[in-house]
Structure 1
Amino acid sequence: MQNVANTDQFQAWNGYEGTHWAEQQDRWNAINANFDLPLLDAAAIQDGDRVLDVGCGGGATTRLAAATAGRGSALGIDLSAPVLELARARTAEAGITNASYVQGDAQVHPLDAGSYDVAISRFGVMFFADPVAAFGNVAKALRPGGRIALLAAAEPAENEWLTALHSLGALLPTHDFGRSGGPGMFSLADRDTAVSTLTAAGFQDVRAEHVKVYGIWGRSAEEAADFLLHSGPGRHLLAGLGPGTRESVREVLTEQLRPYENAGALPLRSTGWLLTGTRGERTPSA
């Protein structure tokens, strides 16, 4: 694949991370599905709209957008070949003919200028090496007046899965992981940073709405702890620990999550900024 600026992310999402997300797509959708309604309401997709789904993953939001667009279409773009393979398969199984996918780095991929009415994303926009350039590329792909509705992770402390990890203390030193504004999934967690970044990229009337939802992380504390420790953040924090310490982490985390069990499910709260705005009349600079 040509035109990749985020090489570390490309390697991760075409390695373990991408394989994990593809294999665990149903679990991740169970975690994030309650964000879909606020996202689609904010996007206000109309019949005939052309929708761009940035960081589309397994295509759940792409398919929802395509269904809402009716006579329009939805294009999902993602770095990861494993998740796009799954997205295409599930789209075909659902008989959806107005959704398609492309493997590409949204920061630099040559998207057709002015070709989309709406750009959406469910947590696929926090990992760019140069966020202003990336959102500028998305802005150029929209027609003047085109809309965005993008979800980005909000305050780390309001995410109960991260609170559970931080509670492990010296057993699992988290250092700066989860720091608002740092690189990675919390890069846009500071509201002012998120708004100013999108404004600098060429969007107008940028707003950030705080959204809190609950997602199902497993059927039990054991299942949720195992899943969390095998996800990207968990694997990152476990790196370098010996087998005995890893087992201790799993046991303690399981007990930390035990109080959240509820009728055969383990819901945890997650938070996001729902970022909206419109592309200005002038074409964003390269």
Structure 2
Amino acid sequence: MVSALHADPSNADQAGAWDGQEGAYWAEHADRFDRAVRAYRADFLAAAGVAEADRVLDIGCGTGETTRDLAKRATGGRVLGVDLSAAMLRVARQRAAAEGLHNAEFVQADAQVHPFPASAFDVAVSRSGTMFFADPVAAFRNIGGVLLPGGRLVQLVWQALAGNEWFLSLTGALAVGRPSPTPAAGSPGPFSLADPARVRTVLGAAGFTDIRLDPHGEAMWFGEDAADAERFTLGMLGWMLDGLDERDRRRAVDDLRATLAAHESDSGVLYASEVWIIRATRP
């Protein structure tokens, strides 16, 4: 099942990025992005607590690793993955089909405004896909409407910058003395749900109760070695070199190489990270 993307106008920039070059890069490197956060996989799936007959909505499903994991648990139910990126959804469909997961379905949609059927799901989940809504209260209210009374929302989001060495180190190296590209507090971006007080305010205004944030910290993987991680990182963050002269470009890449080399280990290039696993209930 494929739907034409109808994004809220306030999410136009995010739709343009995820349904454009950014999403295409993630689709091309799906295994690497999944491996980067794999240390959180077991805890997140345990928090989701999906049962055999559950109907599950996966928000910002990307290339579908979480969708597939949950479809293997909800063998008597179904899992719907939604994302802004057509490229990532193509990968998600291919991989679900290859694994014979007929209870996994994918739709290109903006979860902030998509007309989901009311009370159609037992659980809604998102592995790092809910931090990009322009109007998070409206988005979570829309998501809450798809849940049955007593239905659960489970999200994995980044904690504050201070605990996420990967972001500080990689963007700091490429910034070359300029401010790192950190969105303003409360604006769409990877750290928009880092503040527990804001999370409780947003989810409470959207109608959720029993809001709980559990902290988790793990090492993130960026490559087999520094050279491998450099190629991956520049593919993801190379836009930060735009506008630099040749001297500053060399300095930025040298700084990136230095931090990647400093984080090499027997398990690859690893950086510290911290997330919240957030649980909430629709009354």
Q: TM-score range by the shorter chain?
A: over 0.9
Give the deviation of 1:255 after TM superposition.
0.8
User: Please, which of 250, 266, 269 is the counterpart of residue 269 of structure 2?
Assistant: 266
User: Please, which of 192, 217, 222 is the counterpart of residue 222 of structure 2?
Assistant: 217
* Equivalent position of 1:248 in the other structure: 251
Question: Relative to structure 1, is the Cα distance of residues 29 and 105 closer, same or farther in structure 2, using a 3 angstrom cutoff?
Answer: same
Write out aligned runs for 1:132-281 (5 A).
132-165=137-170, 167-168=172-173, 171-175=176-180, 177=182, 181-231=186-236, 234-263=237-266, 265-280=268-283
Contact 1:191–1:208 (CA under 8 A) maintained in structure 2: yes
**1:135 alignment partner AA:** F
* Equivalent position of 1:283 in the other structure: none
Can you list the C-alpha shifts for 1:247-282, whole angstroms capped at 9, x where unaligned? Answer: 3211211112212111261122221111101101xx
User: Please, which of 116, 120, 131 is the counterpart of residue 121 of structure 2?
Assistant: 116
Q: Which moved more, 1:163-172 or 1:70-79?
A: 163-172
SS at structure 2 position matched to 1:266: strand
**1:203 alignment partner AA:** F
**2:29 alignment partner AA:** Q
Q: Which runs of 5+ in 2 are unaligned?
A: none
Question: Relative to structure 1, is the Cα distance of residues 236 and 195 closer, same or farther in structure 2, using a 3 angstrom cutoff?
Answer: farther
Write the distance in 1 (CA, Å) between the matches of 2:245 and 2:92: 36
Can you list the C-alpha shifts for 1:84-105, whole angstroms capped at 9, x where unaligned? Answer: 0000001111111110100000
SS at structure 2 position matched to 1:110: coil
Q: Which runs of 5+ in 1 are unaligned?
A: 281-286
Count of residue pairs the alignment pairs up: 278
Give the deviation of 1:177 after TM superposition.
1.5
Contact 1:172–1:238 (CA under 8 A) maintained in structure 2: no
Write the distance in 2 (CA, Å) between the matches of 1:171 and 1:158: 21
Question: Relative to structure 1, is the Cα distance of residues 230 and 57 closer, same or farther in structure 2, using a 3 angstrom cutoff?
Answer: same
Contact 2:226–2:264 (CA under 8 A) maintained in structure 1: yes
Can you list the C-alpha shifts for 1:78-135, whole angstroms capped at 9, x where unaligned? Answer: 0100000000001111111110100000000011110000000100000011000001
* Equivalent position of 2:80 in the other structure: 75
Can you list the C-alpha shifts for 1:229-264, whole angstroms capped at 9, x where unaligned? Answer: 321xx2453332234422321121111221211126
Write the distance in 2 (CA, Å) between the matches of 1:111 and 1:257: 43
Question: Relative to structure 1, is the Cα distance of residues 207 and 123 closer, same or farther in structure 2, using a 3 angstrom cutoff?
Answer: same
Write the distance in 2 (CA, Å) between the matches of 1:17 and 1:169: 18
* Equivalent position of 1:51 in the other structure: 56
Q: Which moved more, 1:239-248 or 1:104-113?
A: 239-248
Contact 1:180–1:190 (CA under 8 A) maintained in structure 2: no
Contact 2:174–2:252 (CA under 8 A) maintained in structure 1: no
Write the distance in 1 (CA, Å) between the matches of 2:233 and 2:193: 22
Confirm or deny that 1:41 pairs with 2:41: no
**1:197 alignment partner AA:** V
Contact 1:106–1:138 (CA under 8 A) maintained in structure 2: yes
RMSD between aligned residues: 1.7
Can you list the C-alpha shifts for 1:52-73, whole angstroms capped at 9, x where unaligned? Answer: 0000000000000111111111
Q: Which moved more, 1:5-14 or 1:133-142?
A: 5-14
* Equivalent position of 1:95 in the other structure: 100
Question: Relative to structure 1, is the Cα distance of residues 222 and 111 closer, same or farther in structure 2, using a 3 angstrom cutoff?
Answer: same
